[in-house]
C-alpha cells in the first residue's frame, strides 16, 4: 500500500476559498472512516499582500517573502507537499519552489492537465481569472506548453470578472450569476472548448451553483488541484 503523505495548505488567499479547498479534499477522498482520510495542515495567512496589485505595479509590497515564509512553516510541522489556494500566486511559482524544500503542487499545471483529461478534443482554453493572472500570462504559458490555444474575455468583461472576484465573492456580497454566465458564453463564442475557473473565488461560485456539474466544459482549477493533492499524497479519488 502506498504510504500516505501529509499535505500542507497555504490558505487565507482568500479565506473563503481556503475553506472550500479543505472541504474538497475531504469530500473527494475515497474513505470510509476518519483514519482513511488525508492528514492535512492549513496555515490561513490572511496577511499575505494582494498578488494582483503587486504584479500590476499598484503596490510595492512583494507577496513572495510572505508566501515562502508560510510554506516554510508548513514544512517545519512535517508536511510532505504544499499547495496554495491562489492561482495568481503561481506567478511566483518558480521562485517559491526554489526557496522551499518540499514540493509545491502547481494548481495551474493541474488545471490544464485536468482540462485535457476531461475534454480529449480540447484545442482552445478560455481563462477566467484576476488581471494579475491574465496579464502576467500565468495560464497562457502552461496552455501553450501543452500545444493548445488560450483565450481571455474582452476588456469590458474582464473588468466584470474583477468586480465579481473582489466586490462580490471576496466582499461576501451576492454574485451576479447572470453576468458571470454571459462572460462564459463569450468565451464559448470565441471557440473555447474548455473554460478554466482560474481564480479560487470563482471556484467558490462553482461550489455554490454547481456550474462544472451542469456544464462539463467548465473546469474548476481548485477541484483539479484537490485531485492532484489527493493522489500525490497516496489516496484515491472518490468517483
138-182 pLDDT, tens digit per residue, is 999 999 999 999 999 999 999 999 999 999 999 999 999 999 999
Core vs surface per residue 6-35: b (16+ CB within 10 A) or e: bbbbbbbbbebbbebbbebbeebbeeeeee
**What does the pLDDT look like over 177-218, one tens digit per residue?**
999 999 999 999 999 999 999 999 999 999 999 999 999 999
pLDDT of the residue at 1: 41
Same domain, 40 and 91: yes
Same domain, 118 and 89: no
Q: What is the pTM of this model?
A: 0.95
Percent helix / strand / coil, the chain, rounded to 5: 55, 15, 35
> Which member of 79, 192, 199, 229 is catalytic?
199
Same domain, 28 and 88: yes
Query: Does 95 score more than 50 pLDDT?
Result: yes
Residue 229 catalytic? no
Domain membership of residue 238 (yes or no) is: no
* Number of domains forming the structure of the chain: 2
Same domain, 115 and 203: yes
Same domain, 68 and 130: no
CB contact at 8 A, 212 and 220: yes
Residues 205 and 44: their CA atoms lie apart, in Å, by 20
Same domain, 101 and 112: no
Same domain, 13 and 40: yes
Domain membership of residue 47 (yes or no) is: yes
Q: What residues make up the domain containing 157?
A: 108-221
Q: Supply the mean pLDDT for the chain.
A: 96
Residue 192 catalytic? no
Query: Does 2 score more than 70 pLDDT?
Result: no
> Which member of 86, 150, 229, 233 is catalytic?
86
Domain membership of residue 237 (yes or no) is: no
How is residue 35 written as a grid cell? 483514519
Same domain, 26 and 119: no
**What does the pLDDT look like over 73-89, one tens digit per residue?**
999 999 999 999 999 99
- Domain of 181: which CATH number? 3.40.50.1860
First to last CA, the chain: 20
Cα maximum dimension of the chain: 52
Amino acid at each position: 500500500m502506498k504510504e500516505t503523505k501529509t499535505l500542507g495548505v497555504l490558505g487565507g488567499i482568500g479565506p473563503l476559498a481556503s475553506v472550500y479547498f479543505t472541504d474538497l479534499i475531504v469530500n473527494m477522498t475515497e474513505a470510509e472512516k476518519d483514519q482513511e482520510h488525508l492528514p492535512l495542515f492549513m496555515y490561513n495567512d490572511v496577511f499575505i499582500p494582494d498578488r494582483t496589485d503587486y504584479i500590476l505595479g499598484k503596490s510595492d509590497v512583494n507577496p513572495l517573502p510572505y508566501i515562502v515564509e508560510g510554506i516554510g512553516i508548513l514544512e517545519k510541522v512535517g508536511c510532505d507537499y504544499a499547495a496554495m489556494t491562489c492561482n495568481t500566486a503561481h506567478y511566483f511559482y518558480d521562485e517559491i519552489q526554489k526557496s522551499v524544500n518540499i514540493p509545491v503542487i502547481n494548481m495551474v499545471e493541474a488545471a490544464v492537465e485536468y482540462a485535457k483529461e476531461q475534454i480529449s478534443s480540447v484545442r482552445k482554453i478560455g481563462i477566467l481569472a484576476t488581471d494579475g493572472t491574465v496579464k502576467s500570462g500565468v495560464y497562457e504559458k502552461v496552455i501553450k506548453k501543452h500545444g493548445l490555444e488560450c483565450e481571455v474575455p474582452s476588456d469590458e468583461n474582464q473588468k466584470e470578472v474583477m468586480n465579481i472576484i473582489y466586490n462580490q465573492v471576496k466582499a461576501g456580497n451576492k454574485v451576479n450569476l447572470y453576468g458571470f454566465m454571459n462572460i462564459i458564453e463569450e468565451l464559448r463564442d470565441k471557440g473555447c472548448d474548455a473554460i478554466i475557473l482560474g481564480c479560487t473565488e470563482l471556484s467558490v461560485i462553482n461550489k455554490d451553483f454547481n456550474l462544472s456539474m451542469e456544464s462539463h466544459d467548465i473546469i474548476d482549477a481548485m477541484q483539479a488541484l484537490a485531485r492532484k493533492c489527493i493522489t500525490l499524497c497516496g489516496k484515491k479519488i472518490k468517483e
